[in-house]
């Protein structure tokens, strides 16, 4: 059917078209069906039906589609009901328990990147990955497919390195410190991080309290070439871009899909140009990985993939039973980091950051790694490197000003220890939820300061300090503490 | 966050809200995330981001939402990021291979009906049903859940009956004939049918060539009470409404999910008030069910469920290796039906319709079923009943006029037999695709007339007559025949 383009310049996040209800009826398409739009090129889009916005001879297109089609309002295109894409057949194959080849996974991932699969189809794919599993060769193929469909960075130097931590632990903001230490001893770290999904804040949210983090690829290369590292948000860079779309779907059920996790981490690191990779797997009650055995099983899989890609890798297994650091929430975590750089911060965060930096430096074949890492931090060399990176990302030397402007929530409430005893449990999930209730990550000044870890405490000592910008949120948070009891004392 | 309602009165087919991009950023929500909207009641909706259509303090709502919320433009509501619904946890449970209880399936199905699950979440659910399977008790629970969440009809009389045919066979339009025969001997048949999904036309499409089929529930009851039967479209009636949403998702991959099929057929029949149910399972090469063994395995499952619900059921296993009837396409199939009523139609369609009617009449405990069915058709009694039903649905006696107005496509092409021999295969799928290429079901006058079945033919005899309203489509159809060869002669 010939229809006239009407460009709504609507950022739908995916290629969507609007059809008049009568047009839809004539074409026999329904909401969320797929149509093919042919002009110079052929693209697929998802249908929405909108009786008033478009006329019967029109097709309303989103910003994304107008860009892909390079068409303006008024141009006539051929619109037809789209058959199932080949990728759908392959997803069905995986649902039926068959193995997928490199070529087949290439097609699926490419179709995901090009928006030719709906979220429901991606859900079918990930469900099949989860339930039927993927063998080693499929995981390798998936990793390769994810790399191929994205941008790739390349840096000069022997020591291009990266780190990744399997999430789930509250706080645990080692990345800025570890990256600064490693860069200060000569490693190259094109580090990209994510924003919070379910946690109080992600590394990108924390860095954003003092720095630009949404850097274009060109700027990243510039910053890394100048300072040896970056601390950027990975979301818009186009490194393994299929990952964001798959994660968006997995999130719906909070699914952990192991082959997807393996392929996604590896594809991102390889795309960023890293040759030396440190994977940290915190384990224990309350962590994503429950015990050392499971952690080691995951670790072995990472190592096997790394070997295939000819990369050096070290996997560390660390304590995941309690939060790391004292502050939780973007500003609070940044304040912890600054204090560590000033040799005054939470001891657990400091030690873990040095440990990870040591392992990564060692992996690069540099001798005396532990002493070098400790000295870099103690001497202020790492802090200088951190300032340098942030200033480069901001494009001006405003680090001190940014730090000075960090402010905590106006509404403050100290929660004292209720009874003397031993703290036996601090729930990572509970601390994260508490922060979200107080307003993080949107309200960067909100969050929780944890005065104690798993230790002996006395009644009346401060246990938590809560920060918020809204009385309502503070009230909700107090209610949550009462009901959920994120900290247990015995 | 407090936002002002802006009602776009947009029929999105699901509850969608529009947020300004800045508002979305402040709330930390992305396209396709879920938000909860609280006013007098709390509902969930899917987010789309639309910078220009709504202001920062506004939330644009679709028609569906405005109706559920009973709110007008300008009213202020509380909008918050919605956590995973309980149903999502249960879907995750099924993905992890656990069994779901009645209560749990009730919640999932209710959330599907109330639009609280996204299509991707429904895809996760159906994928888990498909891969992990569902045991008998789960299938029973699913059936009950589907019934509970929909409307239910009740008719007086001992012989409330229904039939269902597992699809996949081209033509096979027995329903109007069987229903008319059965109603003419005293059965009550509140028959609802679907439109075509992938076939040339569905029963509802065929009936619609001469009749209203989108009848409200009230009208259906009226028509059935008056004439003993109806031939309506089931889509908008709200009988087992979860089914439509699940089918919309299954369709994406053309998945056949057995527990879903069983529950869906049974729930619809029970909701329509049927106590005597005939299930026809065509089997053979080219049918949905490949062989008699598989057909019987499916049939046994139907019978077991029927027993649990205290229903009388007969399962018939019929030949599914070739199309039934001569005409394929809405008008062509209606013409076949009329001819059968006038004792002049395709013999295979006539015989199968009488056979199914006989079995259903027998199932109701009426003696001499075969003679009664044959006589009803031969005497014209069934035809009279059919006219009566159609006139009741139309609300006026315009049957003859409607029949007179049936027209076939202007562009006609006869395809002769290429070589003498035996027809060894007529592909159901091929015939259906050919019809779709010619324009069915949208173009009701388009389609295929099949002059031969699996029989001996001579070169030059007419094999197919094609009907279309567009030269382009006719050309595409001829190309398809050349490439695909839907009919094989040896």
Residue of B50, B63, B80, B59 whose CA lies nearest to B5: B59
Tokens found for residue A275: 């040759």
Q: Is residue A245 part of a domain?
A: no
Statement: residue B427 has pLDDT above 70:
yes
**Sign of the CA dihedral running B82, B88, B90, B92:** negative
Concatenate the DSSP letters of all residues of B404-433 into one string: HT----SEEEEEEPSSSEEEEEE-HHHHHH
Is the pLDDT reported for residue B42 higher than 80?
A: no
Alpha-carbon distance values, A488 to A416, A419, A437, B373, B423 (Å): 13, 10, 20, 76, 79
Residue B382 near residue B178, CB atoms below 8 Å: no
Judgement on whether residues A11 and A128 belong to the same structural domain of the protein = no
Mean pLDDT across the stretch B234-242? 86
Q: In this structure, is residue B143 part of a structural domain?
A: no
Q: Which of residues 105-134 of A touch B (CB under 8 A)?
A: 118-124, 126-128, 130-132
Do residue A204 and residue A326 come from a single domain?
A: yes
Q: Give pLDDT, residue A69.
A: 73
Sheet containing B487-489: which strands, arranged edge to edge? B456-457, B421-426, B487-489
Beta bridge partners of A283: A289, A319
Beta bridge partners of B19: B49, B59
Residue B48 near chain A (CB below 8 Å): yes
Q: Return the DSSP state at A48.
A: E
Rounded distance, CA A320 to CA A286, Å?
7
Query: Which ipTM value was assigned to this complex?
Result: 0.77
In a domain, A395, yes or no: yes
A248 touches chain B (CB under 8 A): yes
Contact A11 B127 (CB under 8 A): no
pLDDT recorded at residue A286: 82
Q: Which of residues 129-188 of B touch A (CB under 8 A)?
A: 130-132
Decide if B252 and A128 are in contact by the 8 Å CB cutoff. no
Among residues A288, A270, A86, which one has the least CA distance to residue A199?
A: A288
In angstroms, the Cα distances linking B80 to B6, B26, B27 are: 17, 11, 8
The pairing of beta strand A276-283 with beta strand A421-426: unpaired
pTM: 0.80
Measured in angstroms, the CA of A257 and the nearest CA of chain B are apart by: 11
Say if residue B321 is in the same domain as residue B398: yes
B226 and B363 together in one domain: yes
CA atoms within 13 A on the CB side of B452: 26
Beta carbons of A130 and B441 less than 8 Å apart: no
Nearest to A13 among B30, B92, B442 (CB): B30
Cα angle A210, A211, A215 (rounded to 5 degrees) comes to 165
- Is the minimum CB–CB distance between A45 and chain B shorter than 8 Å? no
Among residues B25, B245, B13, the alpha carbon closest in space to that of A46 is found at B13
A88 close contact with B: CB closer than 8 A: yes
**DSSP run (H or E) holding A39:** none
Q: Please tell me the distance in Å from B183's CA to the nearest CA on chain A.
A: 32
Mark yes or no for CB contact B11/A21 under 8 Å: yes
Which CATH number characterizes residue A451's domain?
Answer: 3.90.1170.30
Asked if residue B249 belongs to a domain, the reply is no
Lowest mean pLDDT among B41-45, B188-192, B478-482: B41-45
B45: pLDDT strictly greater than 90: no
Q: What is the mean pLDDT of chain B?
A: 91
Determine what percent of chain A is predicted with pLDDT higher than 70.
97
Q: What is the DSSP string of A317-346?
A: EEE-SS-BSSEESHHHHHHHHHHHHTT-S-
Rounded to the nearest angstrom, the minimum Cα separation between A341 and chain B is: 30
Mutate to test the interface with B, among A236, A253, A484 (most CBs of B within 10 A): A253
In-domain check, residue B145: no
Find which of B17, B94, B252 to mutate to test the A interface (most A CBs within 10 Å of its CB).
B252
User: What percent of chain B has a predicted confidence (pLDDT) above 90?
Assistant: 68
Check whether residue B75 and residue B93 sit in a common domain.
no
Quote the pLDDT of residue B84: 59
Task: State the average pLDDT for chain A.
Answer: 91
The CATH code of the domain that includes A311 is 3.40.1030.10
Residue B456: give the domain boundaries.
411-489
Active site residue A256: yes
Q: What is the pLDDT at residue A12?
A: 62
Query: Which of A11-25, A235-249, B324-338 has the lowest average pLDDT?
Result: A11-25
Q: Are strands B58-61 and B2-7 parallel, antiparallel or unpaired?
A: parallel
pLDDT score for B408: 97
- Mean pLDDT score, A52-75: 80
Q: How far apart are the first and last CA of chain A?
A: 72
Distance (Å, whole) CA B490 – CA B482:
16
The residue among B339, B367, B402 that closes a domain is B402
> Which of A51, A52, A127 lies closest to B124 in CB terms?
A127
Shared domain for B60 and B200, answered yes or no, is: no
Task: Give the mean pLDDT of B325-352.
Answer: 97
Judging by DSSP bridges, how do beta strands A276-283 and B462-468 pair with one another?
A: unpaired
User: Above 90 in pLDDT, residue A399?
Assistant: yes
**List of chain A residues whose C-beta atoms are within 8 Å of the C-beta of residue B118:** 119, 252
For the segment A170-213, what is each residue's pLDDT rounded down to a tens digit? 999 999 999 999 999 999 999 999 888 778 899 999 999 999 99
Query: What's the pLDDT tens digit per position in A257-279?
Result: 999 999 999 999 999 999 999 99
Subunit contact B127:A131, Cβ cutoff 8 A? yes
- Is there a single domain that holds both residue A192 and residue A270? yes
Residues B90 and B77 in one domain: no
Asked if A201 and A347 sit in the same domain, the reply is yes
Chain A residue numbers with beta carbons less than 8 Å from the beta carbon of B130 are 95
User: Which residues lie closer than 8 Å to B374 by C-beta, 6 or more apart?
Assistant: B354, B358
Residue B83 is predicted with a pLDDT of: 59
Q: What are phi and psi of A411, to 5 degrees?
A: -95, 115
Q: What are phi and psi of B269, to 5 degrees?
A: -65, -45
- By CA distance, what is B8's nearest residue in A? A52
Inside any domain, residue A142: no
Find the range with the poorest average confidence among A332-341, A466-475, B206-215, B347-356: A466-475
Residues 6+ apart with CB under 8 A from A67: none
Question: Which residue from A12, A18, A2, A107 is spatially nearest to A59, judged by alpha carbons?
Answer: A18
The rounded distance, in Å, linking the Cα atoms of A175 and A180 is 8
pLDDT at B196: 83
Confidence at residue A244, expressed as pLDDT on a 0 to 100 scale: 82
Residues of chain B in contact with residue A118, where contact means CB-CB under 8 angstroms, are: 119, 252
Contacts of A11 in chain B (CB under 8 A): 21, 49-51
Mean pLDDT of A62-91: 79
Which of A353, A380, A402 is a domain's end point? A402
Do both A21 and A166 map to the same domain? no
- CATH number, residue B7: 2.40.40.20
State which residue of chain B sits closest to A91, comparing Cα positions: B253
Q: In this structure, is residue A249 part of a structural domain? A: no
Q: What is the pLDDT of residues B254-283, one digit of tens each?
A: 788 999 999 999 999 999 999 999 999 999
Tell me which chain A residue has its CA closest to the CA of residue B94: A131
Of the listed ranges A242-251, A382-391, A437-446, B481-490, the one predicted with least confidence:
A242-251
Q: Of A373, A402, A431, which residue constitutes the final position of a domain? A: A402
Q: Which listed residue (A21, A32, A57, A256) is catalytic?
A: A256
Whole-angstrom CA distances from A239 to A187, A232, A269, B65, B387 are 21, 12, 9, 38, 65
Over residues B73-96, the pLDDT tens digits come to 888 888 887 655 678 889 999 999
Out of A162-166, B98-102, B167-171, B371-375, least confident range = B167-171
d(CA B41, CA B44): 10
Q: How far is A385 from chain B (nearest CA, A)?
A: 31
DSSP 8-state symbol, A33? -
In angstroms, rounded to a whole number, what is the distance separating the alpha carbons of residues B478 and B434? 9
| Mean pLDDT lowest among A5-14, A110-119, A182-191 | A5-14
Query: A458 vs B40, which has greater pLDDT?
Result: A458
d(CA A341, CA A400): 14
Cα–Cα dist A288/A257, whole Å = 12
Please enumerate in sequence order all residues whose Cβ is within 8 A of that of A77, keeping only pairs 6 or more positions apart, or say none.
Answer: A2, A3, A4, A5, A37, A38, A39, A59, A69, A71
CB contact under 8 A, A121 and B123: yes
Number of domains in chain A: 4
Identify the residue among B51, B81, B120, B441 best suited for mutation to test binding to A, counting A beta carbons within 10 A and taking the highest. Answer: B120
In this structure, the answer to whether residues A455 and A418 fall within a common structural domain is yes
B positions 291-330 inside 8 Å of A (CB): none
Count of beta carbons in the 10 Å neighbourhood of residue A46: 19
Q: Residue A49 and residue B81: Cα distance in Å, rounded?
A: 25
Token pair, residue B75, equals 């009213």
Closest in A13, A127, A442 to B95, CB measured = A127
Q: Which of A83, A123, A132, A194 to mutate to test the interface with B (most CBs of B within 10 A)?
A: A123
Task: Measure the CA–CA gap between A83 and A95, rounded to whole angstroms.
Answer: 19
> Which chain A residues are Cβ-neighbours of B11 within 8 angstroms?
21, 49-51
Q: Residue A297: which pLDDT band, with cuts at 50, 70 and 90?
A: very high
Q: How confident is the model at residue B298 (pLDDT cuts 50, 70, 90)?
A: very high
Q: Per-residue confidence at B14, pLDDT binned at 50, 70, 90?
A: low
Within 8 A of B82 by CB-CB distance, chain A residues are: none
Contact B125, B88 (CB under 8 A): no
Tell me the mean pLDDT in the region B362-390: 97
Q: Assess whether A177 and A290 both reside in one domain.
A: yes
Of the listed ranges A84-88, A216-220, B248-252, the least confidently predicted one is: A84-88
Establish if A238 belongs to a structural domain. Answer: no
């Amino acid at each position: 059917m010939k229809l006239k383009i009407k460009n709504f310049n609507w950022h739908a996040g995916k290629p969507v078209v609007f059809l008049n209800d009568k047009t839809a009826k004539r074409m026999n398409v329904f909401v969320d069906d797929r149509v093919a739009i042919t002009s110079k090129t052929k693209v697929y889009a998802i249908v929405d039906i909108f009786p008033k916005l478009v006329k019967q001879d029109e097709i309303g297109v989103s910003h994304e589609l107008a860009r892909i089609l390079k068409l303006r309002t008024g141009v006539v295109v051929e619109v037809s009901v789209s058959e199932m894409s080949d990728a759908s057949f392959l997803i069905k194959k995986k649902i039926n328990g068959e193995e997928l080849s490199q070529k087949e996974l290439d097609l699926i991932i490419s179709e995901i990147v090009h928006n030719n699969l709906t979220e429901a189809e991606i859900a079918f794919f990930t469900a099949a990955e989860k339930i039927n599993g993927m063998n080693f060769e499929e995981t390798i193929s998936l990793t390769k497919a994810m790399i191929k469909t994205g941008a790739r960075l390349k840096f000069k130097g022997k020591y291009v390195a990266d780190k990744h931590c399997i999430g789930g632990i509250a706080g645990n903001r080692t990345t800025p410190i570890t990256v600064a230490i490693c860069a200060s001893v000569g490693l190259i770290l094109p580090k990209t991080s994510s924003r919070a999904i379910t946690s109080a804040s992600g590394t990108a949210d924390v860095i954003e309290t003092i720095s630009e983090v949404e850097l274009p690829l060109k700027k990243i290369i510039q910053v890394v070439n100048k300072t040896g590292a970056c601390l950027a948000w990975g979301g818009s860079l186009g490194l393994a871009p299929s990952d964001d779309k798959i994660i968006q779907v997995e999130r719906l059920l909070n699914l952990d899909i192991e082959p997807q996790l393996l392929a996604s981490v590896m594809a991102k690191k390889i795309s960023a140009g890293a040759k030396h990779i440190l994977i940290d797997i915190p384990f224990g009650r309350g962590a994503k990985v429950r015990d050392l055995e499971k952690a080691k099983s995951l670790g072995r899989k990472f190592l096997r993939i790394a070997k295939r890609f000819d990369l050096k890798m070290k996997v560390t297994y660390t304590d995941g039973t309690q939060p790391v650091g004292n502050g939780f929430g973007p500003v609070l975590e940044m304040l912890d980091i600054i204090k560590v750089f000033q040799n005054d911060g939470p001891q657990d965060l400091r030690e873990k950051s040095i440990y990870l930096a040591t392992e990564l430096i060692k992996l690069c074949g540099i001798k005396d790694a532990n002493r070098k890492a400790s000295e870099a931090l103690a001497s202020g060399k790492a802090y200088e490197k951190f300032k340098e990176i942030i200033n480069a990302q901001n494009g001006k030397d405003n680090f001190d000003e940014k730090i000075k402007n960090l402010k905590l929530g106006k509404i403050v409430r100290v929660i004292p220890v209720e009874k003397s005893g031993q703290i036996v449990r601090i729930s990572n999930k509970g601390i994260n939820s508490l922060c979200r209730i107080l307003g993080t990550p949107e309200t960067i000044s909100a969050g929780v300061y944890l005065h104690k870890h798993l230790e002996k405490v006395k009644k009346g000592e401060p246990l938590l300090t809560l920060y918020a910008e809204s009385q309502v949120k503070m009230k909700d948070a107090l209610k949550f503490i009462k009901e959920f009891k994120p900290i247990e004392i015995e």
